[in-house]
Amino acid sequence: MGVIFRSKVACHRLRRRLDWLLHPLPWAAGRGAPDGFPVVVSARDSPLRRAPDGAIAAYTEEKTHNLMLAAAKVNGAVIAPNQVFSFCRTVGKTTSSAGYLPALELIQGELRAEIGGGLCQLSNLLFLLALDINAEIVERHRHSFDLFRDVERTVPFGCGATVFYNYVDFQFRNTLPFPILLRSWVDSEMLRAGARAAQSLPFDVRVCETDHRFFRRDGAVYRANRVWRQVHWHDGRHWEPELITANECRVLYPADDLVGEATEG
């Protein structure tokens, strides 16, 4: 990172620390064990190797190592009713002294090997868990670029949350009347995460997309869609679809053959 960029990062980090000090939220800081939360209310996973070849496949072992460290920090976190989970506060600063290795990170539109890279894969899964339990999304930043073609994608494009300690955070509030336990770990070729509770959820959640399309702007290819959350209560209530995010980002892989594609779900 250049001097100017590092200076901006330092300023943003200082501003975030002051915000934490002057405007604290009811942060989740408790820990628990699965025995006290016997019901799995959400489970998500994603492959550690996202593409079979190319630059994005580099540093997979280092990324996996970083994810193991961060997942251990998240694993066992308990979020009581109305408490707010913060990815940055929970995982902490990802430094070499904390054991993190250089892995790929997207910075200013370029893929670079940086200490602690690759953790967005974990924050992406936690974003999906938050949607599944109908949590309030307090802070979420969408990715600015689409890095690779869909490889075994099981959720709509744009269901991610980028993080960069400490000022680009992912936060959500537990709106349930009972606490939630987070689980996260690396298992063979997968990163896994889940949410557990002492009882079942009183609803089902469906996450879907509309207006998916590839288009060209100023010689570059872009991808866009809208992601919605639909809550179906077991007592018969139905909520209107809630717009979670409207995504638009530049495509960084060859995608001329995809321009003009559109889907609606």
In sequence order, what are the beta bridge partners of 37? none
Which pLDDT score, from 0 to 100, does residue 264 have?
A: 44
Q: Are strands 190-197 and 39-47 parallel, antiparallel or unpaired?
A: antiparallel
Q: List, edge to edge, every strand of the sheet that includes 30-31.
A: 30-31, 77-79, 180-187, 190-197, 39-47
201 near 45, Cβ under 8 Å? no
Q: What is the mean pLDDT of each run of 10 residues along the chain (265 residues)?
A: 73 86 94 96 89 62 95 98 97 94 77 86 96 96 80 79 89 98 94 97 94 91 94 88 92 81 49
Which pLDDT score, from 0 to 100, does residue 240 have?
A: 85
Structural domain includes residue 153: yes
Domain holding 45, by residue range, is 3-200
Structural domain includes residue 80: yes
pTM, two decimal places: 0.91
Structural domain includes residue 260: no
CA–CA distance, 158 with 227 (Å, rounded to integer): 7
In sequence order, what are the beta bridge partners of 233? 203
Structural domain includes residue 117: yes
Q: Give the angle 103-106-111 at the CA atoms, nearest 5°.
A: 70
Alpha-helical runs (H) found in the chain: 3-22, 60-74, 87-91, 120-132
Which pLDDT score, from 0 to 100, does residue 51 have?
A: 58
Structural domain includes residue 226: no
Backbone angles phi, psi at 137, to 5 degrees: -80, 110
Structural domain includes residue 122: yes
Which pLDDT score, from 0 to 100, does residue 109 have?
A: 63
User: What is the count of structural domains for the chain?
Assistant: 1
Structural domain includes residue 213: no
Closest CA to 187 of 125, 145, 242, 132: 125
| DSSP label at residue 36 | G
Q: Hey, what are 116's tokens?
A: 């602690």
Which pLDDT score, from 0 to 100, does residue 27 have?
A: 97
Structural domain includes residue 240: no
